[in-house]
Structure 1
Amino acid sequence: MKLKFTKMHGAGNDFVVIDAINQRVDLTPAQWQLLADRRFGVGADQMLVVEKTSSPQVDFRYRIYNADGGEVEQCGNGARAFVRFVTEKGLTDKRAIKVETMSGVIEPTLESDGSITVDMGAPVLDPEDVPFDATGLQGKPEGDDTLWPLDVGGRTCWISAVSMGNPHAVQVVDDVATARVETDGPVIERHVRFPKRVNAGFMQIADRHQIHLRVYERGVGETLACGTGACAAVVAGIRRGLLASPVTVNTRGGVLSIAWQGGNSPVMMSGPAVSVFDGEIEL
């Protein structure tokens, strides 16, 4: 089968975006892996699928597949790419849309300056709902947050457990450049305490309104940027009393802006989304 696609990225977090409204898309995990392969396929951190929705309250359905072929709940940078894609391809004339995901409805908006803002909804902070198994652990209160001890290769890492529609384990490090992302990231991702695996965030505090962040993504590995990871890190930092909204998040691929007023208020994420090229691949 021939599959038309658009290659996009948001701050270096790259995607293959597929219109499943105007073409049939029914791929196996192996075919998703092939699309993501940087040598034998197109190359991407995630594949984003645009579908019709059966709900009259939303505009589109949004499905996300990681590079390992597994479907996941949420992708913040992908949400920005999604709204640019449906706008550029003439699938909508709205600048603000409601999009159904596996974890709920998000609301991305294409701003007049070309940037994109996404209402990511309120963070989920109850460990059981992240999900994170805290059974038998002694948490350490810090501000409004609770830090949890995680055994990582015989060492203890203190993490904040946050869900932004997908699970995150956020830790503060002295320097992201020397953080043990490549070694600790895969261990944390598959830690037994996270039954659905987890995205591992490594956050360096620059000042109360600025951080540096690296994220080892579940099912992908380290990416140049992670939108939900940026949201989770800022939420954790604000709850710990280390940060104040809004926060500039410096990733290896670009800059994101995150605002959160605490409690059940939504996390607002702003940043770029770029179309790179259109293509067609034979699968």
Structure 2
Amino acid sequence: MEFTKMQGLGNDFILTENLMKLKRDWPNIAKKLCHRNLGIGADGLILVEPSNIAEYKMTIYNSDGSLAKMCGNGIRCFGKYLYDKRYLQKSEFSVETDSGIKHLVLKIQFNKVVSVQVDMGPPFFEPKSIPVLAQGDKVVDKYLKVIDKGFTFTALSMGNPHAVIFLDEIDNFPVEKYGPLIEKHSFFPDKVNVEFVSVKKDGSLKMRVWERGVGETQACGTGACATLVAARVKGVVNNTAKVHLKGGTLKISWKGENVLMTGPAETVFTGNVTI
């Protein structure tokens, strides 16, 4: 199987083509190939598939084999892949995902993709659409106790579920301790991605993320979008802000109904593997 290893702010993926829609055991293939010691190593496996409603479809499996509906860093890599492989030679196009159609705009310089803007669609706040077991129209600053520590979180969906937690300081916060416990908390029937966020004096946001089915990663595009939205709902940032992650910085805007995410995507290497 031919593959391309790509990354967006250190959030890395294995991309391979499934244009014939072959019925393989993709969950177990993802677990095998994404293993950091026994495989290629990645946060997820992305399939390039045909679509009847967009130019192509992105199907993504997390490193634990679970199916992800959407991935912000992954779809930027997906867009660059389509352009670099000459499947598309235009800067604007649509991609089908399991959370709907996403519109991409590539910034091209000297025939190379330098950044990708993705229209991530609108955020969803209704508890059952996230899902989260809570009452009301929105879940803002809801209290949650995990072992010895209490948190307040804001929940929303960006095509996948997020719980955004604001803290004074996150650099030394034990994400690996509390992240998996919140991810699997009974509040969240489908588990949840957890963002730990601090607001900086310059109006930017600093974020660490525990991704559902993966663990702590260098970056999460949908998580950065959820973070900006949650911060805007709380009134602590403007409509546009930089979100600083371990792997780099994303520009996130929420000026109308939809959220726009802009950031880089890079090819690491290509290869061939037996599965």
What TM-score does the superposition give when structure 2 sets the normalisation length?
0.94
SS of alignment partner, residue 216 of structure 2: strand
Match of 2:270 in 1: 278
Counterpart residue identity of residue 262, structure 2: S
Question: Is 1:195–2:189 an aligned residue pair?
Answer: yes
Counterpart residue identity of residue 13, structure 2: F
Measured in 2, the distance between the counterparts of 1:192 and 1:180 equals: 21
Matches within 5 A, 1:229-248: 229-248=223-242
Match of 1:77 in 2: 73
Name structure 2 gaps, 5 residues minimum.
none
Identical residues among aligned pairs (%): 39
Counterpart residue identity of residue 275, structure 1: T
Match of 1:126 in 2: 126
Match of 1:224 in 2: 218
RMSD between aligned alpha carbons?
1.8
> How far 1:129 sits from its partner (Å)?
0.9
Match of 2:101 in 1: 105
SS of alignment partner, residue 3 of structure 2: strand
Match of 2:116 in 1: 116
Measured in 2, the distance between the counterparts of 1:128 and 1:145 equals: 11
Match of 2:91 in 1: 95
> How far 1:209 sits from its partner (Å)?
2.9
> How far 1:26 sits from its partner (Å)?
1.9
> How far 1:54 sits from its partner (Å)?
2.1
Match of 1:163 in 2: 157
Match of 1:14 in 2: 12
Alpha-carbon spacing, 1:24–1:46, altered in 2? closer, same or farther (3 Å): same
Matches within 5 A, 1:17-36: 17-21=15-19, 24=22, 26-36=24-34
- 1:147–1:160 CA contact under 8 A, matched in 2: yes
Measured in 2, the distance between the counterparts of 1:12 and 1:235 equals: 23
Measured in 2, the distance between the counterparts of 1:243 and 1:52 equals: 39
Residue 184 of structure 1, aligned match among 178, 183, 197: 178
Residues 229-256 of structure 1 show CA distances to partners (whole Å, capped at 9, x for unaligned) of 0000000001100111211111111111
Question: Is 1:63–2:59 an aligned residue pair?
Answer: yes
Residues 84-129 of structure 1 show CA distances to partners (whole Å, capped at 9, x for unaligned) of 0011011111211111111111111111352110000000111121
SS of alignment partner, residue 77 of structure 2: helix
Measured in 2, the distance between the counterparts of 1:27 and 1:110 equals: 32
Measured in 2, the distance between the counterparts of 1:157 and 1:198 equals: 15
Alpha-carbon spacing, 1:170–1:145, altered in 2? closer, same or farther (3 Å): same
- 2:21–2:49 CA contact under 8 A, matched in 1: no
Counterpart residue identity of residue 271, structure 1: G
Counterpart residue identity of residue 126, structure 1: E
Question: Is 1:146–2:140 an aligned residue pair?
Answer: yes
Counterpart residue identity of residue 15, structure 1: F
- 1:208–1:244 CA contact under 8 A, matched in 2: no
Counterpart residue identity of residue 98, structure 2: M
SS of alignment partner, residue 273 of structure 2: strand
Name structure 1 gaps, 5 residues minimum.
none
Match of 1:249 in 2: 243
SS of alignment partner, residue 196 of structure 1: coil
Instruction: Provide the aligned length of Structure 1 versus Structure 2.
Output: 271
> How far 1:213 sits from its partner (Å)?
0.5
- 2:158–2:225 CA contact under 8 A, matched in 1: yes
- 1:173–1:179 CA contact under 8 A, matched in 2: no
Measured in 2, the distance between the counterparts of 1:279 and 1:65 equals: 19
Measured in 2, the distance between the counterparts of 1:131 and 1:145 equals: 11
SS of alignment partner, residue 145 of structure 2: strand
Question: Is 1:268–2:260 an aligned residue pair?
Answer: yes
- 1:209–1:246 CA contact under 8 A, matched in 2: no
SS of alignment partner, residue 116 of structure 1: strand
SS of alignment partner, residue 108 of structure 2: coil
Match of 1:172 in 2: 166
| Ranges of 4+ aligned residues in structure 1 off by more than 4 Å | 22-25
